[in-house]
Chain A
Amino acid sequence: MANTDFSRTMGGHHQHGFDRSRAWFERMHIDLILFLLILLLAGCGLLILYSGSGQDMTMVKRQGLHFLIGFIVLIVTAQFPPRFYQTVAPWAFAIGVIALIGVLVMGVGAKGAQRWLELPGLPRFQPSELVKLALPLTVAWYMSTRPVPPRLFDLFKAMIIIGLPTILILKQPDLGTSILISASGILVLFFAGMSWALILSMIGIVAACAPLMWFFVMREYQKQRVLTFLNPESDPLGSGWNIIQSKTAIGSGGIDGKGFLQGTQSQLEFLPESHTDFIIAVLAEELGLIGVLALLTLYFLIIMRCLYLSSRCETLFGRLLSGSLAVTFFIYVFVNIGMVSGILPVVGVPLPLVSYGGTSVVSLLTAFGLIMSMYTHRQN
């Protein structure tokens, strides 16, 4: 056991840092490349927020605090081994589902939707945020106990696990989150090796269900959003206003932009929600296509790094979970930029790590902590 070479190859066994030859970040279960990429993105996010918030330093400081908390949570999350998450996943899921039911029964409403739960002695929180992580965890846990590629019956049971919270969140109603959550679950199945025939037929079913959704599930305001998306000029002062203004901000930025803090659309407040959902338009206006491509590249690198890490995980559970989280992260990016640039309907999805908001920052960084945990905790 005194042989250092041996102990290095045994890596994962030595969790408590008496092995001085390993770098500090390895000992802390941090993937340095991913960590630095996220740090870079967070830094860019704060800069854009400074402009998008109308140069509101208190807002930037508060977001900085969100990042600080988020990074602490990330590091803490990374310390626990995958086995721990496998164990807690079903419990977290159960608590999440119960809380979602609680929201429907006694939730606090805002703008016609019940999304918040207020319990005595606890801060007001949004159970769907918990489920965002608990669902992929649970599906990954379940699928890792099944043979690969999965059998049809196992997939069916996994669909029930996915469907339960999805329907509950849909009831709130929160179409955007329910789609994202179900996507994160389905992605686990995809990584687990669900057959292409099944994937294509699922896409077919979803396409067939779309008209039914329109008539039976979607609320009036959601339909309005879709209609506005199809023709924003139909209501230029109402719901079309946002999308027209954001396209104007983006388009008027041109290739090299109007200059940092020089965007007239954002600085003169024509652009709505310029510090939250529509913040990419601020970047596009002020730093132009160059800025946008730089940000897209940064996102691409982060996602690729995550996929790389996930493929290098030792456990099936780790691979399924981190692969799902990585692609879910991408979906956030795609949906947000797609909606702001007018190729997707407006759904309230923030731009990851750039839009202002503590919950989003902390839960995203927790996910990165999970990915790092899955990768760095090696087993025999």
Chain B
Amino acid sequence: MWEHSFRDKSAERRLFRSRALTLAIFIFLMLCILAWRMAYLQINLYEKYKDLSENNRIQLRPIAPNRGLIYDRNGILLAENIPSYSLTLVPERVRDMEQTIAFLDQLIGISERDREQFEKRQGFRRRPFEPVVLRHQLSEDDIAKVMVNRFYLPGVDVEAQLVRHYPQGETFAHVLGYVGRINQQEQATLDTDPETKRRYSATQFIGKLGVERRYEQDLHGEVGYQKVETNARGRVIQIIERKDPVPGQDITLHLDSRLQKLAQKEMKGMRGALVAIEVATGGIVSLYSNPSFNPNLFVTGISHKDYSELRDNPDLPLFDRAIRGQYPPASTLKPFVGLAALNSGITSWNEAIDDPGWYQLENDERLYRDWKRIGHGKVNLERAIVESCDTYFYDVAVRAGIDNISPFLAQFGFGRNMTLDISNALPGLLPDREWKRAKRKSFWYAGDTVNLGIGQGFMLVTPMQLATATAVLANRGTWQVPRLILAHNDIEDEIPHGDIADIQLKNPQDWEQMYHAMEQVINGTHGTARRLRSKLRYPIAGKTGTAQVVGIKQDEEYDSESLRERWRDHALFIAFAPVENPEIAIAVVIENGESAGRTAGPIAQSIINEYLGGAEG
């Protein structure tokens, strides 16, 4: 009706045209804004976005170097790298995460722990389409199952990587240590230095303990890189540039697998440790602590169950007794105290005392008893060593005095970790006046010296220290710093002597005399280790020791049977052979082994036989 009545058609048209023109101008301006915006991005910010798109396209992918291998002195492999397969997920490509994981669980089993770790890893900073590990250590069977079902599992893949493997298992666990995944704390430490951050940019594993940790620098190698063009999914389209990683150095240790295995076999069922040192070089040929554990469990992450089993085992398989077990040296200290007494000039080989079976200090009621109640009668130094006469050593120790004995013992490495490359070894304890004042807030009493004379009281040694001291003794006071390392990449290490002074006796003949006395410990009719004689193949010098167990608290949870067992004395034995020209020095500690002649001695003897036999044959 409006159209036919009073509409002003030309006015309507004019109004429309003016509105259309207004909008046309507006649209032109708005399109100019778009054009300006595009020009701004493409001209002004061109360089920035060109770099960004290059960075998108080009990825610098670090390549992990292969970790150096570890050999024993005979070239037997102690640590190698073997391929291991991991299951990875690309979260961006997984349609239904819950369902996918549930399906994988049904296929190959995904533990609760795997899931937790996966959640955690997803939270870490990563590029989109970067795979995240869900499960490690897939078996051939697992891989096959995943591959067959690949169609139903978008975003799921299997990745190969090299992981550490210890073919000798438990035999070398304590000494080699193991590698494990770099944890967040270690990562933070690595990241503080740009150089280590770069070096470890592709590395997943790091030495956690033992040789693996001590020689981490050498074993690790140099990271390589690959400049690749990738798509947004991280798939490599082409390799633009590549710098190969430099594998870590192979290292050869002085350790001898034959001895190490023998030590393991001989100590089966016992708790204890054995350290054997090549006298001429200081090379540690055997370093064993029993019981041991399987280091392979730790490499890709030990399960909670396996770990609690190890941790809660009352025999403490994770405890490295050889370098961290601290025991009273007991009578094994006597040869060293004897030399201290001789060197201080208060006695000589000919001088004898009368042993009634006890010793008494002047102005003191207390009787210090000999292990032999009725006494040894007339005893000189040699006899005191052979029969392990306590009274004799009470006497010479008191006469020589703590101020002579303690510094003399220190020359043998007691009270310090004297090894070249075992960084976590404990120092033991060599007491003196100063120590007692500082730590016990008390004076040094003559009674303390009496105890020290027979290696009891405050003094503590590790099997490592005992073996070191024995090697120095066998080397007539000349130091060869104990070491594990023999060669890097088959080139023998030349290790400077260092600042350790050799031991100069006032009368060098005393060395030979002491050897003779210690030989009589085995060969003499009254020698405390005379039962070794029957199997003697090489002339051995040795000394037994029986340490009282005082450290265990009564309330620890042992059943009465084992409690009684654990209150028995520790058996210690040090030895070197052959006597005239010593090649190997050894220390054995068997916890609660009671008689050193029966337990520790035979073990040392069989190691010596094997070592010297092997050298001949």
Contacts and interface: CB of A to CB of B under 8 A. Distances in A.
A327 B37 contact: no
Interface in A138-181: 145-149
B128 A255 contact: no
Contacts of B346: none
Nearest to A147: B2
Interface stretch (A16-24, A128-136, A289-297): A289-297
B51 to A, nearest CB: 8
A307 B37 contact: no
B410 interface: no
A265 B231 CA distance: 8
B57 A264 contact: yes
The B contact surface, by secondary structure, is helix
Interface stretch (B14-22, B280-288, B363-371, B398-406): B14-22
A214 interface: no
Contact of B38 (A191, A303, A307, A341): A341
Interface string B121-136: 0000001100000000
B232 A269 contact: yes
Contact of A268 (B24, B35, B41, B56): B56
Nearest to B1: A145
Interface of A: 145-149, 190-191, 193, 237, 241, 245, 247-255, 264-265, 268-270, 284-285, 288-289, 292-293, 296, 299-300, 303-304, 307, 310-311, 316, 319-320, 323, 327, 330, 333-334, 337-338, 341-343
B489 interface: no
Nearest to A191: B19
Contact of B52 (A241, A248, A255, A343): A248
Nearest to A280: B38
Interface in B114-154: 127-128
A307 B20 contact: yes
Contacts of A343: 33, 37
A251 B56 contact: no
A49 to B, nearest CB: 19
A334 B33 CA distance: 9
B31 A148 contact: no
B20 A270 contact: no
B15 A250 contact: no
A268 B2 contact: no
A252 B34 contact: no
B42 A293 contact: no
A42 B19 CA distance: 29
A189 to B, nearest CB: 10
A268 B45 contact: no
A154 B11 CA distance: 19
Contact of B231 (A148, A190, A193, A269): A269
B28 A289 contact: no
Contact of A307 (B15, B24, B128): B24
Given A247-B49, A268-B231, A337-B34, A253 B15 contact: no
Contact of B20 (A247, A311, A330, A333): A311
B42 A288 contact: yes
B15 A300 contact: no
Given A247-B49, A316-B16, 17 more contacts: A148-B12, A248-B53, A252-B46, A252-B53, A254-B46, A254-B50, A268-B56, A270-B56, A284-B42, A289-B39, A299-B31, A310-B20, A311-B20, A330-B27, A334-B34, A338-B37, A343-B33
Contacts, number: 141
Nearest to A244: B52
Contacts of A304: 24
B506 interface: no
Nearest to A329: B27
Contacts of B127: 237
Nearest to B8: A148
Contact of B49 (A250, A316, A327): A250
Given A268-B232, A296-B35, A311-B16, A251 B27 contact: no
A255 B42 contact: yes
B56 A292 contact: no
B230 interface: yes
B229 interface: yes
B497 interface: no
Of B15, B53, B128, B230, most A-chain CB atoms within 10 Å:
B53
Contacts of B3: 316
26 contacts: A190-B19, A190-B23, A193-B16, A237-B127, A247-B41, A247-B49, A251-B46, A251-B52, A251-B53, A252-B49, A253-B42, A254-B43, A254-B46, A264-B53, A265-B57, A269-B231, A269-B232, A270-B231, A299-B31, A300-B28, A300-B31, A311-B17, A316-B16, A320-B16, A333-B31, A341-B34
A316 B20 contact: no
Interface residues of B, number: 44
Contacts of B28: 300
Contact of B27 (A284, A303, A310): A303
Contacts of A320: 16
Contacts of B128: 237, 241
A251 B41 contact: yes
Top 7 closest A-B pairs, CB basis?
Answer: A251-B49, A252-B53, A268-B231, A269-B232, A251-B41, A252-B49, A270-B232
Contacts of A190: 19, 23
Contact of A145 (B2, B23, B52): B2
Contacts of B20: 191, 307, 310-311, 323
A334 B15 CA distance: 26
B48 interface: yes
Contact of A250 (B2, B31, B42, B230): B42
Contacts of B41: 247, 250-251, 284, 341-342
Contact of A251 (B13, B24, B48): B48
Contacts of A338: 34, 37
A288 to B, nearest CB: 6
A172 B12 CA distance: 38
B233 interface: yes
B564 interface: no
Contacts of B30: 330, 334
A327 B617 CA distance: 101
A264 B230 CA distance: 10
Contacts of A264: 53-54, 56-57, 229
A248 B45 CA distance: 9
Contacts of A250: 38, 41-42, 49
Nearest to B229: A268
B7 interface: yes
Contacts of B12: 148, 316
Interface in B195-237: 229-233, 237
A251 B42 contact: yes
A280 B191 CA distance: 41
Interface string B322-362: 00000000000000000000000000000000000000000
B50 A252 contact: yes
A289 B34 contact: no
Contacts of B53: 248-249, 251-252, 264-265, 270, 285
B56 to A, nearest CB: 5
A183 to B, nearest CB: 12
A248 B233 CA distance: 17
Of B3, B20, B23, B50, most A-chain CB atoms within 10 Å:
B20
